[in-house]
Amino acid sequence: MTTTSSRWALVTGASAGIGEAFARELAARGASLVVTARREERLAKLAAELAGKHPGLRVETIAADLADPKAPEALCADIERRGIAIDILINNAGYGVPGHYLSQPWQRHADFIQVLMTAPCELAYRLLPGMQQRRYGRIANIASLAGHVPGSAGHTMYAASKAYLIKFSQSLALENRQFGVNVCAVCPGFTYSEFHDVTGSRPLVSKMPKWMWMTSEEVAREGWDATERGEIVRVTGRVNRFIKGLIKVLPDKVGLALVQKRSKDFRVQDPH
């Protein structure tokens, strides 16, 4: 029996990519699941597959759009009405906004902030009291290697939002260790998923060498193991850890110049 057996996990953005991989990883380790995303049909398909693969596993689906400021509270209320106590929170929902800052309407940026920054914080705020009371909790905030390196031109707010999640996770982890709650910022680099299709950067990133990529399953496995061990920040993959270490020792001016030179290879500068 693993520590996740008989525990309930909430996974946001579970309809694809890293979120779906986390749902599969946790189900394999015995956790029951509440999976949420906007695409209800994908959630239903995932729930049926996991329930069939793991007899006795409970999987609840809740369609929600975390760009709605009321969604986190409504989601937690729905979970409570179903008599479920969440011990594991995977804050994964996210996406990128392509192009330069002024190329997009403000509302699109506001929605981005709501999904990638406000919603994870609110979900943690609403679910932490129960975790503290039960003296067990796991929160994995899916950040990014981008949060450790200088910001790039294009996708202006993405790295900033991930750096925010990293710092938030660090403080939250130190505040909650005494309650048996582990908080980890999981920081993947380039990962095979739908992310780059949605942002329109697939033609660019497809030119990146294969050794820079990880699968969603590898990220989820390594990220969850790190969360269980009590690591506060986990950059997944040796290549990504090397990049983080290199950037850390470079002078800021050199790091910025390097990112400026290479950003056109992986960031959409203006929307199509």
Q: What is the pLDDT of residues 44-73, one digit of tens each?
A: 999 999 999 999 999 999 999 999 999 999
Q: Looking at residue 201, what is its pLDDT?
A: 46
Total structural domains within the chain: 1
Asked if the structure places residue 65 within a domain, the reply is yes
Asked if the structure places residue 225 within a domain, the reply is yes
Give me the numbers of helices (H) and strands (E) for the chain, helices first please. 11, 9
Give the domain extent around 218: 8-265
Asked if the structure places residue 193 within a domain, the reply is yes
Q: Looking at residue 264, what is its pLDDT?
A: 62
Q: Looking at residue 261, what is its pLDDT?
A: 75
Residue 201 structure tokens? 């950067």
Among candidates 49, 43, 103, 51, which has minimal Cα distance to 75? Answer: 43
CATH of the domain at 229: 3.40.50.720
Asked if the structure places residue 180 within a domain, the reply is yes
The residues carrying an active-site annotation are 158
Instruction: Give dist(CA 247, CA 64) in Å, integer.
Output: 37
Look at residue 18 and tell me whether its pLDDT is greater than 70: yes
Asked if the structure places residue 271 within a domain, the reply is no
DSSP assignment letter at 267: S
Asked if the structure places residue 59 within a domain, the reply is yes
Among candidates 152, 88, 99, 149, which has minimal Cα distance to 123? Answer: 88
Q: Looking at residue 224, what is its pLDDT?
A: 98
pTM, whole model, 2 decimals? Answer: 0.89
Instruction: Read off the pLDDT band of 203 (50, 70, 90).
Output: low
Among candidates 144, 147, 146, 139, which has minimal Cα distance to 177? Answer: 139
Instruction: Read off the pLDDT band of 200 (50, 70, 90).
Output: very low
Other CB atoms within 10 A of residue 124 CB: 22
What average pLDDT score do residues 125-148 get?
A: 98
Asked if the structure places residue 205 within a domain, the reply is yes
Strand order in the sheet with 233-235: 59-63, 32-37, 8-12, 86-91, 137-142, 181-187, 233-235
Asked if the structure places residue 1 within a domain, the reply is no
DSSP assignment letter at 67: T
Q: Are 125 and 183 in contact (CB under 8 A)?
A: no
CA distance to 148, 183, 188, 235, 249, per residue, from 241 (Å): 10, 19, 9, 6, 13
